[in-house]
């Protein structure tokens, strides 16, 4: 029998619909999960604590992290722990530049100055029909998905770095063009997904397929 994949889901700092969110992860075959909530969640990145899970899923909105916890988290990724970043977790650690490189993008909670220009704060709007285009149906993360429409929260003006590999795009005028992307940091695969505000996303079969395949893909080393 194949071993169960164990997920650590990090939450805290942003409300969400807990029951349908849990139901989505419960629906994934071959996976088991537990939750770590802030403020103590950042203690989960030490080598000892990280023995207890295969993939880290971030669904937090957190800015507080000590230099020691930062170093532990980066070391974890150097060693190849898979990472999936969902929705509002794109706004984590605004003051930590290296984290922007890990995620290969960022949702900006406030305007920032970078290389002599101002990047505006990112935007959001709830309950939008978002057309989703699958960039490469052969990619393991998007395998079996065809273009779809999802009822979800749209984010605008968030950043996706040029070295990110786009997985999903949209032409919705209030969204940044790339909705999901893959990258590598250290020894780890990273998948970042803008979608996923509430039960409309959690219950959507396309979203479930996307998230479960992202988890399976990052569980393997690049």
The residue ranges that bind Zn ion (CB under 5 A) are 153, 197
Distance of alpha carbon 90 from alpha carbon 45, whole angstroms: 18
To which residue do tokens 């970078």 refer? 114
Count of Cβ atoms closer than 10 Å to residue 106 Cβ:
24
CB of 121 to Zn ion, least distance (A): 15
Q: Which residue in the shown chain puts its C-beta closest to Zn ion? A: 197
Assess contact for 150 and 200: CB atoms under 8 A.
yes
User: Is beta strand 178-185 parallel, antiparallel or unpaired with respect to 5-12?
Assistant: unpaired
- Residues paired with 123 in a beta bridge: 156
Least CB distance from residue 38 to Zn ion, whole Å? 17
Least distance to Zn ion from the beta carbon of 176, Å?
15
Nearer to Zn ion, 106 or 197 (CB): 197
**C-alpha–C-alpha distance, residues 175 and 184, integer Å:** 24
Q: Are 139 and 190 in contact (CB under 8 A)?
A: no
Distance from the first to the final alpha carbon of the chain:
24
Residue (15 or 29) nearer to Zn ion, CB:
15
Q: Based on CB atoms, which residue is closest to Zn ion, 40 or 110?
A: 110
Comparison of 73 and 89: residue with beta carbon closer to Zn ion: 89
For Zn ion, the closer CB: 87 or 189: 87
Q: How far is the CB of 14 from Zn ion (least distance, A)?
A: 7
Query: For residue 90, how many other CB atoms are within 10 A of its CB?
Result: 22
Least separation, in Å, of the C-beta of 137 and Zn ion? 27
């Amino acid at each position: 029998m194949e071993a169960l994949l164990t997920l650590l889901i990090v939450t805290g700092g942003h409300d969400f619909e807990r029951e349908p969110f849990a139901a989505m992860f419960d629906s994934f075959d071959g996976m088991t999960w537990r939750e770590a909530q802030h403020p103590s969640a950042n203690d989960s990145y030490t080598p000892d604590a990280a023995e207890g899970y295969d993939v880290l899923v971030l669904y937090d909105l957190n800015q507080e992290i000590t230099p020691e916890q930062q170093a532990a988290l980066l070391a974890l990724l150097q060693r190849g722990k898979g990472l999936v970043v969902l929705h509002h977790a794109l706004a984590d650690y605004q003051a930590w530049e290296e984290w922007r490189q890990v995620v290969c993008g960022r949702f900006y909670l406030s305007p920032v100055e970078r290389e002599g220009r101002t990047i505006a704060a990112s935007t959001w709007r709830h309950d939008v029909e978002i057309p989703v285009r699958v960039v490469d149906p052969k990619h393991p993360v998007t395998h079996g998905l065809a273009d779809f429409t999802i009822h979800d929260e749209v984010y605008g003006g968030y950043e996706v770095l040029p070295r990110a590999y786009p997985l999903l795009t949209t032409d919705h005028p209030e969204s940044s063009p790339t909705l999901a992307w893959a990258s590598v940091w250290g020894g780890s695969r990273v998948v970042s997904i803008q979608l996923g505000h509430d039960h409309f996303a959690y219950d959507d079969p396309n979203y479930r397929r996307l998230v479960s395949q992202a988890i399976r893909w990052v569980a393997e080393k690049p």
